[in-house]
């Protein structure tokens, strides 16, 4: 059993690669290394290349005996996607279609895909369920939804089956502090909190405290990256057992505000988090957290890590790796 992991040198990809290997599966990582780091892959079989190279994909699948795929490789900066939509449509959507073509040619039929809660835009209710209205508010989100739909059509028209995982807010680092996110390439809250806390950036900017939430700051569903990785293993197992194509939220089901993240960081690290309240960021919904009952019912998956684990591992990782894997 060998899993092709695209984008396996990235933040979530590298942590998932390591977990998949620990379950006894073989892997081969395909990554351009444009944003990923070779070091994050360790001694796993690795090919530097692009998912859009259909011939390469077909060859890797045949040479490594690939029968399952986890597809992470994508651009993910929301702001950049609005400034350069073509870059995102080409890399994420066209690239994925070329990947799927290569998989088809090689006869690979089981795909787990990294999607995002951003496909809900501003949710019509929280906790948000998979069958609630979809309303992409960025090109990035739209590219993920287009890939979801592409996979849906492949499921109907070929033997390919897929699990679409809609991630909520992935955060934290590996427990052993060897794999984590590079804050130089992240716009997300927790890396920014750590940067300010550790004195690598001026005060954290809190984007608005006048939302209709209990303390006025934005509420999200922070999921430990190792729990997220475990959801991929559960998804692979589901497909291996003959399970049908399915789309699942991957979140904790609990909302946490920006102020609660700041408070938890101060409690867990014993450090002060310098912050200032600034205007809301365009496009930010007040609240977004998952109804995670479908993934629990389908795979028996539940998150194991607490918010304190997220903060503690993020702090340990960022304080020891201020340049990410280049540290
Ligand atoms: C963002 C993206 C989303 C993407 C997700 C994961 C936007 C609008 N959404 O989600 O498409 O799928 O990341 O990569 O960019 N915050 C601050 N100060 C900061 C950073 C964030 O106050 O410096 C607040 C935000 O307003 C929000 C919360 O922290 O309330 C979480 O923000 P973030 O980590 O950027 O995630 P999302 O906005 O949920």
Cis peptide before 239 (omega within 30 of 0): no
Atom of ligand 1 nearest to the CA of 218: 30
Per-residue pLDDT at 308: 98
Centroid of ligand 1 to alpha carbon of 188 (angstroms): 5
Average pLDDT of the residues in 207-232: 98
How far CA 177 is from CA of 27, 180, 228, 317, 324, in Å, comes to 22, 7, 17, 5, 11
Instruction: Give the pLDDT score at 283.
Output: 87
Cα radius of gyration rounded to whole Å, the chain: 19
- Residue with CA at minimum distance from ligand 1 atom 3: 118
pLDDT, mean over the chain:
97
The model's pTM: 0.98
pLDDT of residue 53: 98
Tokens 């994420």 sit at which residue?
Answer: 92
Tens-place pLDDT, residues 227-278: 999 999 999 999 999 999 999 999 999 999 999 999 999 999 999 999 999 9
Catalytic residues: 140
Per-residue pLDDT, averaged over 20-29, amounts to 98
Nearest to 315, CA basis, from 251, 278, 262: 262
Between vectors from CA 20 to CA 128 and to CA 175, what angle results, nearest 5°? 75
DSSP-assigned beta bridge partners for residue 277: 206
313 — pLDDT class (breaks 50, 70, 90)? very high
The Å distance, Cα 256 to ligand 1 centre, comes to 12
Task: Give the count of beta carbons closer than 10 Å to the beta carbon of residue 129.
Answer: 16
Closest atom of ligand 1 to CA, residue 76:
14
Q: Which residues of 290-308 are buried (b: 16+ CB within 10 A; e: fewer)?
A: bbbebbeebbebebebebe
Res. 7 pLDDT band, cuts 50 70 90: very high
The predicted structure's pLDDT at residue 57: 98
Cα 118 to Cα 107: distance, rounded to the nearest angstrom: 31
Distance between CA atoms of residues 7 and 171, nearest Å: 17
Q: Evaluate if residue 181 carries a pLDDT over 90.
A: yes
pLDDT (average), residues 284-290: 96
Q: Which atom of ligand 1 is nearest to the CA of 78?
A: 15
The pLDDT of residue 327? 85
Among 74, 189, 307, the mutation site with the greatest number of ligand 1 atoms within 8 A of its Cβ is 189
Mean pLDDT over 70-89 rounds to 97
If you take atom 26 of ligand 1, which residue's CA is the nearest one? 207
Q: Which domains are seen in the chain, by residue range? A: 2-170+223-250 (3.40.50.720), 189-221+253-290+305-326 (3.90.25.10)
- State mean pLDDT over 295-323: 98
E strands, 81-236, where?
110-116, 161-167, 169-171, 204-207, 219-220, 222-224
Name all residues whose Cβ lies below 6 A of ligand 1.
76, 78, 116, 118, 138, 140-141, 169, 187-189, 192, 204-207, 218, 220, 258, 281, 283-284
pLDDT over 90, % of the chain = 98
């Amino acid at each position: 059993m060998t899993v092709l992991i695209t984008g396996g040198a990235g933040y979530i990809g590298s942590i998932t690669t390591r977990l998949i290997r620990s379950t006894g599966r073989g892997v081969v990582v395909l990554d351009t290394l444009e944003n990923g780091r070779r070091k994050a892959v360790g001694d796993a079989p690795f090919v530097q290349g692009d998912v859009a190279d259909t011939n390469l994909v077909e060859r890797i699948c045949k040479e490594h005996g690939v029968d399952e795929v986890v597809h992470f490789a994508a651009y993910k900066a929301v702001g950049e996607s609005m400034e350069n939509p073509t870059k995102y449509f080409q890399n994420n959507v066209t690239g994925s279609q070329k990947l799927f073509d290569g998989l088809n040619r090689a006869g690979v039929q089981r795909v787990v895909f990294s999607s995002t809660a951003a496909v809900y835009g501003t949710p019509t209710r929280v906790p948000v369920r998979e069958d609630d209205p979809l309303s992409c508010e960025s090109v990035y989100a739209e590219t993920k939804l287009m890939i979801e739909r592409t996979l849906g059509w492949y499921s109907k028209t070929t033997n390919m089956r897929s699990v679409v995982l809609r991630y909520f807010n992935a955060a934290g680092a590996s427990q052993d502090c060897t794999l984590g996110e590079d804050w130089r390439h992240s716009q997300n809250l927790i890396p920014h909190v750590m940067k300010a806390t550790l004195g690598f950036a001026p005060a954290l900017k809190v984007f608005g405290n006048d939302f209709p939430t209990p303390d006025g700051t934005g509420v999200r569903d922070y999921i430990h990256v190792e729990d997220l990785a475990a959801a991929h293993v559960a998804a692979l197992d589901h497909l291996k057992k003959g399970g049908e194509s399915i789309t699942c939220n991957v979140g904790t089901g609990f909302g946490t505000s920006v102020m609660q993240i700041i408070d938890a960081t101060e409690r867990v690290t014993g450090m002060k988090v310098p912050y200032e309240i600034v205007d809301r960021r365009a496009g930010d919904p007040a609240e977004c957290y998952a109804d995670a009952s479908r993934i629990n019912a389908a795979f028996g998956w539940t998150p194991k890590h607490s918010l304190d684990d997220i903060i503690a591992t993020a702090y340990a990782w960022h304080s020891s790796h201020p340049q990410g894997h280049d540290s």
